[in-house]
Every structure is written in C-alpha cells, then in structure tokens.
Amino acid sequence: MTNVYHIVQFQSGDAYVLFYGCHWRCSYCVWAFEKWNLCLPNDLKRKLDKLWIKKNIKFLSIEEVVGILKENGVKLAFFGGGEPTIDRELKPLIKRLKKEGIDVWLVTNGELLDKELVDLVKGITFSIKALDDELHKKITGVPNYKALENFKRFAKSGKIVAETVYVKDLVECDEILKIAKFIVSLNPDIRFRIDPLVQNPVYEEVDECIRKVRKILPNTYRIKATGKGKLPNLLYPKLGE
C-alpha cells in the first residue's frame, strides 16, 4: 500500500497526488490544518474531512493509483503532500507509471533524495526552508545539512526547481537572499520559486524580495493565481463511495 490518500486533476490535465505524512515538523506547514488540495471549494473539503474522521478513506495501492491516473488521461502527475519520499512504494509506483507513459514531478524537502529517484522523475521542486542551520532547526526540527548536500549533488541535474516560503518574521528577504546566493554558487540557471505563506501571504513584501533576488538569480518568480481558472476535479476520494 502507498501513502497516497488524495488525487485531483487540473484543467491542464495534470494531476496532483498527495502523500500522507512527513518526517519534518515545519512550524508553518499547511498540512497541519488542511489535508486536501487548497484549490478545492471549502464545502467539499469539509465533506472530505468528515470521511477522514470516520476513517472512510483508504490509502491506495500502486495499481489503484495507476488505474485512476490512466482512466483520466493523466500524462504528468505532481507528487507532493506531505513528503512523498518517505513512502517505500514511491519508486515502484513511479516505475509502474513510466511504463504507462505517465511522468512524475516530485515536490520534496530533498532530504531523502537519491540518484535513482532523480533519474526516475521528470522534475523536482526542491524546497529549501532556510540556509541558516539554527533557523532551519527552529522551523523544521531537524538540521539542514543532508538536504543541502543533496541540493549540491543534484543542482546540475537539469531537473531541479528551487523553492522557499516567505514567512513574515521568520524567513524574510535577508534569509532568502542567502538561499539565492547558495543556489547561484551551484548553478545560476536554476529557477527559484518564492511562495507566499498560505496563512499570511504578504504579496507586496514577497514581490519586493523577488525584485532583489532577481539581481543575482534572474529566474526567480512566484506563482500568481488569476482566480479565473476552473476548480480542480476531485479524482480521489470520491464522495459517496
């Protein structure tokens, strides 16, 4: 059985596959209060909460994940959550999906990455929480040397997009500039995504920071929701099943 408990599909046809659990404890982790894809409407998320509380949602087997993605014509699946790399079924699942012509893009804290995994996936969003080790421990509960070693190791793989979260009074632009310098020292062509914190998105500060970071790392950006896109389609769990 995998750790997969939730799948949605976007208008583009790509899917987002959510894995349960993480070995870190980030103080701002959105999954501490929301298990479901954030783009789903609140009433639907509350119905899913009820199913979860009643233990009416089961984790999926590899074949069940493959079946759902195939049935819905998915060609690219983002794997996130949660932390997909703690799932022992992750590699067998990706291999099985590749046989069906379905690519995987991994969203990870990077600590448990290895070469086989990097070779298997189409791309990786590698989240760097902080460069300063004390700050990293304060946020996540663990030191950052393993994750940073992996970032160094795979920075030239051509598959990495770096990401960090701008958190007011915790991870602000001075820290993010340090992360950017670290990235530039390894590969100046890496794209760097700065996410506003979901719970307190200080967009103007983030945009100001992006302008500063672009002076040393031009491929720095944030995702801007237009609010005009269609809601994602819930593939699993299905309500009423």
29 binds ligand SF4 (CB under 6 A): yes
Structure tokens at 84: 């997909």
Q: Interface with ligand SF4 by CB under 6 A: which range of 25-33, 92-100, 184-192, 198-206?
A: 25-33
Between 19 and 102, name the residue whose CB sits nearer to ligand SF4.
Answer: 19
Tokens 């051509």 belong to residue: 158
Question: Interface mask (CB under 6 A) for ligand SF4, residues 119-158, using x and -?
Answer: ---------------------x------------------
Residue 105 beta carbon to ligand SF4: minimum distance, rounded to whole angstroms: 16
Pick the piece of the chain touching ligand SF4 (CB under 6 A) from 24-32, 44-52, 55-63, 70-78. Answer: 24-32
Q: Does 26 bind ligand SF4 (CB under 6 A)?
A: yes
Residue 83 binding ligand SF4, by CB under 6 A:
yes
Q: How far apart are CA 166 and CA 164, in angstroms?
A: 7
**Please, are residues 60 and 4 in contact by the beta-carbon 8 Å criterion?**
yes
Segment contacting ligand SF4 by CB under 6 A, of 23-31, 98-106, 192-200, 214-222 = 23-31
Total number of residues that touch ligand SF4 (CB under 6 A): 10
Q: How far is the CB of 25 from ligand SF4 (least distance, A)?
A: 6
Nearer to ligand SF4, 98 or 132 (CB): 132
- Contact between 82 and ligand SF4 (CB under 6 A)? yes
Q: Which is nearer to ligand SF4, 2 or 66 (CB)?
A: 2
Residues binding ligand SF4 (CB under 6 A): 22, 24-26, 29, 31, 82-83, 109, 140
